[in-house]
Structure formats: structure tokens, C-alpha cells
Structure 1
Amino acid sequence: MNSRKKIFNDPVYGFVSVPYGLLLDLIDHPYFQRLRRIRQLGLTPYVYPGALHTRFHHALGALHLMQEAIETLRFKGADISDAEAEAVCAAILLHDVGHGPFSHALEHALLDMHHEELSALFMEALNQQFEGQLSLAIDIFTNRHPKKFLHQLVSGQLDMDRMDYLNRDSFFTGVSEGVIGYDRIIKMLAVHEGELVVEEKGIYSIEKFLIARRLMYWQVYLHKTGMAAEQMLIHTLQRARELALAGVELEAPRHLAWFLKNDNNSPAEPSESLFHFALLDDNDVTAAVKYWAEAEDFTLAFLSRGLLDRKLFRLEWRNAPVTPDELDAFRRRVASDYGAQAVAEHFVYTGRESNRAYDDAEDQIKILFKNGDVRPITECSDVPLYTQIVTKHFICYPKQLGG
């Protein structure tokens, strides 16, 4: 890699160094700069006001941790060429480049694709622009590279993505339960038979990591107020799309309007979708919601005004699914309280969320013992306690309906 470096001052890690060359060129590209305008935690600032950090921050942080991991693994004898080191850094830098505005809300409301698929499309487009310089990074990102541990560093149970977002989200929300010993975990990493492993003295750091992940999901990522706000935004966008497809003229920034008016935007024609998506950010959605707060359609205006003024719906977690009778009763009350102009399906909604701290069916975390044995962490710690799937059901509705 180039010996000349650009320094970024990061609030979590201090100085982050990026070598001049491919990595800095990627950071300077408009696709990546767009991440400055997309908040990492979407609508979470409605709950934790400090959570205003961006996906740009997160990508740089994940890059920094990747650089630390490469240095550690090389010191322990792992065979990582300069080309592979640059490629795995490019892969982690671009892992979230396909994220849309407000976290996952746009995926649910307007797109037929997940952000991982969009990230892969962006990487292919960038690879053409950079004349094949990202081919190795794409192979690592898609797990086609023979050295599996490189992919595990980008996307695995102990990847640099998770390690950064737990630390960063904890820092900016003020939720201390998410703080992990990322530096110790990285120092405990090693490569054994081509796979990423953790030295046995790192077991307790891994347990702390898994506990932190579980707590952050239920305290931050799935916080009921943040979830209510996201559900409202999803239904705001869905209602806007229904109206746009019915021929109603709605004010909206150009690139958001394109997605509202196109019924099928799966990547049959990826170039046009990618063009518009690459110019979408949180500002477009915020501007549209401000316009729609004054829309003639009651449902669209009600939802938009609620988002602007933080008049959020109530979300109740349940241990069992909401019954059809209860849902119907809530929706009948919408017509009673708000009149026929209210579209009940956008006022009361149900769903469920599942989470487990450690998925032992996925790529397992393996522990390397001093005698050379390698065993899954589930066999040598209390991690089985964290493999249980916790599923919660919810109903979301205007607080006025709850009495």
C-alpha cells in the first residue's frame, strides 16, 4: 500500500489513517460521499438524541478496525499479500454503500432489494469505473476468494462491521452496555487452516461481545419508540407510492419521485435504478415528508405531520401474535375516530422481530487452544445461552386509539 496517508479524526478511535491510492479514491467517490448524508441509526435520534452519526463514520471506523486486524494476523504469520490487504479494506469500506435513506425504511417501502444486494451492484459499477481494481475486493465480499478468513473479517460472526457499529452506536447513543473490548478481541484473532479463530484467552471477551450485541438490539435497534417511528415512515412512503401510482401529483425531490412512480424497480434495468438510488439520501426523504405534511390526502398528511412533530404512534410488544379480531377492532376505531378519509391499514399495523446474539447455524466462532485443538465456542463457554431466538410480536397504532 502507498506509504503516504490521509488522516481522519474519528471520535471513537482517534486518528484513522487511509493510504493514498485506491482506498482514498473510493472515499472521494460520490457513491461513498453519499453516506455522509445517511444517518447510521435512521430515526433512533427520536429516542437517543445524540445518535446523529452517519454511515460514513461507520465505514471509516470499520476500515480502521480492518487495518488493525490485518496487522495482527500478519504478525502471527497469516499469509496476506499487499493486494489482498487493500482488497479486504476496500470490501469493508464499501460494505454499506448500498444503504438507503433512514436505514431499512426505504428497503421495506419502495425497493425489492436488500442493501447487501445494492452494495454488490454499487461495487460492480465502481469496478467498471476503476477498470477492474475492485475485482479482488468483490471476490472477498461475495466469499469467492479461497482464503475464507478474509470474507469472515468482512461478513461473519466477528466481522469488523459488527465490532465497529456496537462501539460506535454505544458511544453516540450513550448506551454503555454496547461497549466491547474491540482492541483485545482483534489482538486475540488468528488464522487456523484458512479460517478465522480466536485464541482461548479471548473467550471472555467474546462472551462480552455477544452479551453487548443482545442488549444493544433490544435497547437501541429494536427500541419500541424507534420502531414506531420507522413503521410510520414505512407507511408514509407506502401511502405516497399508492397515491403516485394512482396518478396523484405529489411534491417530492426528483430521485425519490422516480421510485414512487415506478411500480417495478427490481434490477431488471439496474443502471437506471442505481442512478437514482445513488442520489438519494436522508435529505430527500425529510424534504418529501415536509411537503406531504400539507398534502390533501388525510392519511399521508397525518403520518407526515406526526413524524415531523414527533407525535409518534404507540408500539406494544407482545409475546404472541396479535389476533385478527383485535386488529379488526383497532382498525374499526380508526374509521370511528378519524372518519372514512383515514386508510386504516396505514394507521394500525402488526409485525414481529426476532433476534439472537449468536447464530451457531452460521459461520461459527471457533476457539484455538494452546494444544492446537479448535472447538466451537458453544462447546467451551456459556454461549449456548445466547443462541436462543427471542421473538416478539408488536402492534402499532395512534396513541389516541389506546385511550
Structure 2
Amino acid sequence: MFELLAEKKVMRDPIHEYIHIQYKVIWDSIDSPEFQRLRRIHQLGPTFQVYHTAEHSRFSHSLGVYEIVRRMVEEVEGVKEHLSEFERVAVMLAGLLHDLGHGPFSHAFELIQNHHHEYYTGQILLGESNIHQILAKANINLPEAVADIIAHRHPNKLLTQMISGQLDADRMDYLLRDAYFTGTSYGQFDLERILRTLRVADDKLVVKESGIHTVEDYIMARYHMYWQVYYHPVSRSFEAVLTSFFRRMKDLYHNNPISLAGYDMFTPFLRDDIVSIEDYVAMDEPAFMYGMSMCKKHPDQILSDLARRLLTRDLFGYSDIDNEKSIVEMKKKVEACGFDAEYYLTVDRAKQQPYQPYRGKETSLIWVMLKDGRIRELSDVSVIVQAIVKGEDKSDRKMFFPKKCVEVNHEL
């Protein structure tokens, strides 16, 4: 048995109205330093450079994911009966803590690291951290169970499906939350209807046939959010400059470590070895921006210029790539302007398919329960999803460069 709070806690939320908390281990986890750090990590990385109201954090998103998982456990027919109390608490904690390992500017930070955020999430949960002590105090097996659910290692695939599938609590919260805070309508879908039409069958989540249209709306919302918000070229431009900034810093460090003496907040991330948990959780966006402001005065002109660009939003321009020859031509223009193309010309490709059909891994699929009780994969019964699956994957390949090197007219 897990200890309950003397009185159930509620937290106001613009997406879910209220976040409901009744277990002490969940409340204590929210108060942990590792989770509170997520207040200082933007949910959408550099997207606030485009949508000025996109200032929401990984903290609020993580609470939202927890709330959707809690509702799945409490409200979706068949879920509660299939899970022990230990599994119910573990999966709610997995929803809450799934983003613990995100670094500054979220996915942009991963471009310059040797490991993805999932790796550091596992290290924080299983290593010497406050959150590990909180979970282990509640149940010695809890840290490993939570880490296994997040890492897709848990034997009960229903738990993994709730956290990380193609119709999961993570995606459902970030679509609604990101649409709300960017002021766009692309990510809207009927969460209430989806939860009402979910069931458990064959030890996995399925959608009743009557919920197909709502799930189709959800998939289309995801498609539009990726191309209108997540893959916005200005956000990608910020990531291009940020990546160049950190590559330059790494190059300077490896050539002459003394050249970066005094920039201690960055040093753990410049080495080739694994960053310690202590150093990793100490790095949030305010710390990163402070270090960047120091770099603006660095004697290396490339590093200082890239830092200035990030701090003043003097980002790179961009253009579509017609062929490989256009990259060669742009490199010549960049160098003719006096820039080192190694840091001032970046090629990036954005690619996304809103639904992945069966490719050998069943846990990530969306399953539909037909009126006769048969269970089919979504793309077998939805004309809209069939068209998406059979169509070509949309991709967008761009190059990013200083705007002075060529005339560009972008709405930034």
C-alpha cells in the first residue's frame, strides 16, 4: 500500500482545469529538485523565438501527462482492473517523470550531446538523486519500475503504451498544451472523447470503432503542429546557430582547454565522457544563457559572434535545397562574406509521418475494436489514415546561413 495524502491536492491547469494528486510519493516527487528544475526548461525549446507566448515549461507539460495517465487509470474501462496498485502508481510516476532528462532548449540540446534525454532520465531515476530516494522510500522497487516503463523495458506493455505509443498521454498533452500556448488551433482535438472510447482488450489499449473519427482528428492535429509549429524554419534557425555555437566551443576546448577557463558551467559538456548527474541537473536554461552572455565577450570572434546572435535573435536566414550543387554555391557565398562555412552554413532536414503502420512493433500502434469484437490496426479501418500511410513521407530540407550573404525575405 502506498501512503495517501491527508487531503487530496489539486493544481489549476489551463488544459485540464485541475491536476489531481492523492499519493504522497507523487506529491513529494513534484517537490524534488530534479523535477522543479523542469520549470527552467522551455517545453518547446527555441519556439518562443517565433511564438512569443510559447513560454510554457517541461514542468507544466509533465504535470499534464501525469494527469492524463491518472485519468486513463481511473476512468478508462478495464485499465484499473488490469493493474495492481504498484503498477498504477508506477505508471502515473512515469508520466510525471518521463522528461526529467531534458536539457536546455530541449531537443536542440540533444544535437550537441552524446546521449538523448531518455538516457539522462534513466540515470537520474536510478542514480544518486533526490528523486531516487523519494521513490525508493515509498517502495524499493519503484525507481526501477518507473525507469523501465519510460525506457520501454517493462514486461507489462499496457503501461508502456500509456506513456509512449502513437496515442499516448505524452503526445495528447503536448499537442493541446503547445497549441494553447502558441495561440494556434492546429493541435486541437477531443481528448474527452478519446478517453471515453478507450478500452482494454488483449492486454492493450484499444479504441472503440465509434472513436475512429476523433483519433483521425488527433493524427491530423499532430501533422499540422509539426509543420506549422515544431518545424518552423525560425526555430530550426535558432537550433542551427546553437549547434554551431556549441561545436565551436567544443573545438576550442579540444584544441586548447585553457581558452575556455572561467566557463566552468560548460566544461562537463565539452568533454567526451559521460556527464555526471550532478552536473547535468545543474544545467538549465538560465545557467546556459548566463554562460552564453559571458561568451559574447570571448576573444574568439566566431564564438562571440554566435553567442551574440543567439542573445539578440540575429539568426541565420534560410532557403530550400534544390540539389547538392546549391549547397556548394552557398558555401562559396558564405566564405566570400568572410564567414567560416564550418560554423556559418548548416544543412537540416525535417521529416515526419503522422502515423506509423505496423512494422514489427505492435505496442506503438493504435488498435481499434470493431463492433463485432475484432481488433484491427487503425490503418486497416480508416480511409484517412490509409491515405497518410500510403502517401510519401513529407520532408523539408533547408540550409541556414548569415542573412547578409544573400538577400532573404523571411517573416521572422
Same fold (TM over 0.5): yes
Residue number in structure 2 paired with 1:96: 99
- Where in structure 2 are the equivalents of 1:104-115 lying within 5 Å? 104-109=107-112, 111-115=113-117
1:234–1:76: structure 2 CA closer, same or farther, 3 Å change rule? closer
Q: SS at the partner of 1:249?
A: helix
1:78–1:252: structure 2 CA closer, same or farther, 3 Å change rule? farther
> How far did 1:253 drift?
5.5
Kindly indicate whether residue 10 of structure 2 is the aligned counterpart of residue 7 of structure 1.
yes
Residue number in structure 1 paired with 2:31: 28
Residue number in structure 2 paired with 1:265: 273
1:85–1:39: structure 2 CA closer, same or farther, 3 Å change rule? same
Residue number in structure 2 paired with 1:278: 281
Residue number in structure 1 paired with 2:171: 162
Separation in structure 2 between the aligned mates of residue 46 and residue 91 of structure 1, nearest angstrom: 30
Residue number in structure 2 paired with 1:269: none
Residue number in structure 1 paired with 2:233: 224
Q: Which amino acid counterpart does residue 315 of structure 1 have in structure 2?
A: Y
Q: SS at the partner of 2:186?
A: helix
Equivalent residue pairs, number: 389
1:152–1:53: structure 2 CA closer, same or farther, 3 Å change rule? same
Residue number in structure 1 paired with 2:207: 198
Query: Sequence identity of aligned pairs in percent?
Result: 33
Between stretches 119-128 and 212-221, larger displacement belongs to 119-128
Kindly indicate whether residue 294 of structure 2 is the aligned counterpart of residue 291 of structure 1.
yes
Kindly indicate whether residue 123 of structure 2 is the aligned counterpart of residue 85 of structure 1.
no
> How far did 1:24 drift?
1.3
Residue number in structure 1 paired with 2:144: 135
Q: Which amino acid counterpart does residue 115 of structure 1 have in structure 2?
A: H
Separation in structure 2 between the aligned mates of residue 36 and residue 104 of structure 1, nearest angstrom: 16
Kindly indicate whether residue 395 of structure 2 is the aligned counterpart of residue 395 of structure 1.
no
Separation in structure 2 between the aligned mates of residue 292 and residue 77 of structure 1, nearest angstrom: 53
Q: Which amino acid counterpart does residue 244 of structure 1 have in structure 2?
A: Y
**Structure 2, unaligned runs of 5 or more:** 408-412
> How far did 1:162 drift?
0.2
Residue number in structure 1 paired with 2:356: 359
> How far did 1:20 drift?
4.0
Q: SS at the partner of 1:12?
A: coil
Separation in structure 1 between the aligned mates of residue 164 and residue 277 of structure 2, nearest angstrom: 23
Given candidates 37, 49, 54, the residue that maps to 1:51 is: 54
The alignment yields a C-alpha RMSD, in angstroms, of 1.9
Per-residue CA deviation, residues 103-158 of structure 1 (Å, 9 max, x unaligned), is 1222211x210111221222212575243232332333333433311110011011
Whether the aligned pair in 2 keeps the contact of 1:66 and 1:160 (CA below 8 Å) is: yes
Separation in structure 2 between the aligned mates of residue 187 and residue 326 of structure 1, nearest angstrom: 51
Residue number in structure 1 paired with 2:410: none
Whether the aligned pair in 2 keeps the contact of 1:99 and 1:115 (CA below 8 Å) is: yes
Residue number in structure 1 paired with 2:265: 255
Residue number in structure 1 paired with 2:335: 335
Residue number in structure 2 paired with 1:243: 252
Q: Which amino acid counterpart does residue 114 of structure 2 have in structure 1?
A: D
Separation in structure 2 between the aligned mates of residue 77 and residue 30 of structure 1, nearest angstrom: 31
Q: Which amino acid counterpart does residue 248 of structure 2 have in structure 1?
A: R
Separation in structure 2 between the aligned mates of residue 385 and residue 114 of structure 1, nearest angstrom: 32
Separation in structure 2 between the aligned mates of residue 211 and residue 153 of structure 1, nearest angstrom: 20
Separation in structure 1 between the aligned mates of residue 79 and residue 280 of structure 2, nearest angstrom: 42
1:376–1:28: structure 2 CA closer, same or farther, 3 Å change rule? same
Separation in structure 1 between the aligned mates of residue 262 and residue 311 of structure 2, nearest angstrom: 16
Whether the aligned pair in 2 keeps the contact of 1:252 and 1:288 (CA below 8 Å) is: no
Whether the aligned pair in 2 keeps the contact of 1:253 and 1:284 (CA below 8 Å) is: no
Whether the aligned pair in 2 keeps the contact of 1:37 and 1:282 (CA below 8 Å) is: yes
Whether the aligned pair in 2 keeps the contact of 1:252 and 1:287 (CA below 8 Å) is: no
Residue number in structure 2 paired with 1:116: 118
**Structure 1, unaligned runs of 5 or more:** 267-271
Q: SS at the partner of 1:198?
A: strand
> How far did 1:76 drift?
6.9
Q: SS at the partner of 2:260?
A: coil
Between stretches 78-87 and 366-375, larger displacement belongs to 78-87
Whether the aligned pair in 2 keeps the contact of 1:6 and 1:20 (CA below 8 Å) is: no
Whether the aligned pair in 2 keeps the contact of 1:331 and 1:345 (CA below 8 Å) is: no
Separation in structure 2 between the aligned mates of residue 226 and residue 146 of structure 1, nearest angstrom: 38
Separation in structure 2 between the aligned mates of residue 385 and residue 175 of structure 1, nearest angstrom: 25
- Where in structure 2 are the equivalents of 1:308-347 lying within 5 Å? 308-318=311-321, 322-323=323-324, 325-338=325-338, 342-347=339-344
Q: Which amino acid counterpart does residue 254 of structure 1 have in structure 2?
A: D
1:372–1:11: structure 2 CA closer, same or farther, 3 Å change rule? same
Separation in structure 2 between the aligned mates of residue 367 and residue 255 of structure 1, nearest angstrom: 50
Q: Which amino acid counterpart does residue 124 of structure 1 have in structure 2?
A: L
Whether the aligned pair in 1 keeps the contact of 2:72 and 2:79 (CA below 8 Å) is: no
TM-score (norm 2): 0.89
Q: SS at the partner of 1:230?
A: helix
